[in-house]
Chain A
Amino acid sequence: MTDLSIAVTRPEVKGRSLWADARRRFMHNKAAVVGLIILSFVTLMCIGAPYLGLHDPEEVDWSLEQLSIPPNFELGYYFGTDQNGRDLFVRTLYGGQVSLFVGFVATMVSLLIGTLWGATAGFLGGRTDGAMMRIVDIFYSLPFIFFVILLSATLGPQARQFFGSDMVLIYLAIGAVSWLDMARIVRGQTISIRRKEFIEAAHASGVSNWRIITRHIIPNCLGPVVVYMTLTVPAVILTESFLSFLGMGVQEPNSSWGMLISEGAKSMDIAPWAVVFPSAVMVVTLLALNFVGDGLRDALDPKDR
């Protein structure tokens, strides 16, 4: 009797959840934490750009002795001005809003399509699975960037009228391109998890389906998906910049990092800062995103215990 009462009154041992473990591991990864800090800083600066008391991104400063001046802290032009006499710092931040937003939205599009496609294929299995993944294989071997260029070159003007903005087409085009890997990853996860012993064990010990899905399948699927998402964002930002660089992505008066780099590269012999600063900000952000993604992968990979 006494033994039992001790056992009952003993405080419950607090188990470490998968996510707490992952968080601890992530926090031990210096590169990932620094990446996360830089990323948060850049994001906050971009979002908060209108409230920082900076110059207007469209305002041309006619008081300068030449339109394009190098960085000048007294006048508040931290990155200098572009060839039209506009503040490059604030333009870089506004461009960052667009680039980051495109990265986020297109990743969501790819997440939605990829997860649905992959989970359906993996769950149904058999012939349906074969056919669905064959389609993915075919898409995979297409040079997709050319389709994106084709799409924005041929349907761009129409889409701009239809949606009232040129951005929607870019989200859709890039998102539609980047869902393939996500579909493969989710399918692989679904299949491998469905047949794992711990699922069987859970079944055998009478755990309900709902609890198996929430406690076992989703957390095990989520790791790779989250990791892959963080790695999709920089890839999408790159694709968008690639298009904007060629003049087929974001259109004036909007700007994005790719567009700023493209504009800066044109006048680089007289105003090198116009290409250096936007490039640097973009590269630092992409590096940070990649470090965060790698850190998450290491933190969430259960094989690594």
Chain B
Amino acid sequence: MLNYTIRRLLGAIPTLFIIVAVSFFMVRMAPGGPFDKERKVPAEVEAKLMEQYHLDEPLPQQFARYIGNLVQGDFGPSFKYKDFTVSELIWLGFPTSLALGLSAIAIAVLIGVTLGIFAALRQNTWIDYLGVGTAMLGIAVPNFVIAPIMTLVFGLMLHWVPVGGWGKPSNWVLPIIALAIPQIAAFTRLTRASMLEVLRSNFVRTARAKGLPEYITLTRHAIRAALMPVVSYMGPAIANIVTGSVIIEQIFGIPGIGRYFVQGAINRDYTLVLGVTVLFGALVILCNLLADICYGLLDPKVRYD
């Protein structure tokens, strides 16, 4: 197991390197420099600026410098917010984004798994149809439709939650729900399908045949096995939540890194966009890794050594 973990950790390094390399060169190949948008600056000032940001060096050297700084946790200066480094901006936004994402994923797992299990146990009843309906709707109704519609209904029409602003606990309700709904759908679908399969399997039949009470059969045998696909979906789910947060933070005006990313892309704040892409990439890789390791620990059928 330890072997496997170390191997996977080492395997993540080239992937991360590819992310950094691809995004770095993509950003650098973009037409127009970061200072183009402002009032035309005198040539010597621009040269000075270029020199200050090391943009006058050849590309490979810039890349090496970026990697070197990155290893030390330095994402470089922001081109747009002159008084901040990218690391500072990320630290400003990250706690908010993290809290938002974690709440959404917790709610998604809780509701999705419960709904999925009950849908499978009571197949072809109203709760099953509720589960299947949720799963279907979650696929077809994206975040950016859910969010405005929920604001319209619960904010503007029913006045249950404030429409704009940020800071009060009630401001968190809609973003978290809007972020969670597609993942609730995914978890419901996954749990239901895997639970249905497990319930038909031999070991559940054996447990029942030897006279175990139904709730022990379910909790100790069926549900445990049925949750395995859920564990392995955690990685992609977190990646989806991260992607969704970009939209949700934009819609609700939440000061998180997702918003910085979009603003950065629009403002051509290349270092900021680059930094956030690298950070998100690392996050997604890490989550996939953790999900895989958990899977290995939990599933007795998996042997890595």
State the A residues within 8 Å of B (CB): 138, 141-143, 145-147, 149-151, 153-155, 157-158, 234, 238, 241-242, 245-248, 258, 261-262, 264-265, 268-269, 272, 275-276, 279, 282-283, 286-287, 290
Contacts and interface: CB of A to CB of B under 8 A. Distances in A.
18 contacts: A147-B22, A147-B23, A147-B26, A149-B262, A151-B26, A154-B27, A154-B29, A155-B30, A238-B142, A246-B250, A246-B262, A261-B148, A264-B148, A265-B148, A269-B163, A276-B149, A276-B152, A290-B139
B110 interface: no
Contacts of A149: 246, 261-262, 265
Contact of A142 (B15, B147, B246): B15
B31 A157 contact: yes
- Report, as a range, how many residues of chain B touch the other chain: 35 or more
A290 B151 CA distance: 26
Interface string B85-118: 0000000000000000000000000000000000
Contacts of B15: 138, 141-142
B296 interface: no
B242 A143 contact: yes
Given A143-B243, A151-B26, A269-B163, A261 B145 contact: yes
A241 B145 CA distance: 10
Given A146-B281, A268-B148, 13 more contacts: A141-B285, A143-B281, A150-B27, A150-B265, A153-B265, A153-B273, A242-B144, A246-B246, A261-B145, A261-B148, A265-B144, A286-B139, A287-B137
B243 A142 contact: no
Contacts of B136: 287, 290
A268 B151 contact: yes
Interface in B227-259: 239, 242-243, 246-247, 250-251
A75 to B, nearest CB: 24
Query: Which of B145, B239, B243 counts the most A-chain CB atoms under 10 A from its CB?
Result: B145
Contacts of B2: none
Contacts of A146: 23, 243, 261, 276-277, 280-281
B64 interface: no
Contacts of A275: 148-149, 152
B209 interface: no
Interface string B137-180: 10111101101110110001000000100000000000000000
Contacts of A262: 144
Contact of B144 (A248, A261, A269): A261
B284 interface: yes
A234 B140 contact: yes
Contact of B23 (A141, A150, A157): A150
B156 A143 contact: no
Nearest to A154: B30
A68 B128 CA distance: 42
A139 to B, nearest CB: 9
Contact of B156 (A234, A272, A279): A272
Nearest to B240: A145
Contacts of A258: 144
Contacts of B18: 138, 142
B31 A286 contact: no
A149 B263 CA distance: 11
Given A150-B27, A269-B163, A290-B136, A142 B19 contact: yes
Contact of B141 (A150, A265, A268, A283): A283
Nearest to B250: A246
Given A143-B239, A150-B273, A245-B247, A290 B26 contact: no
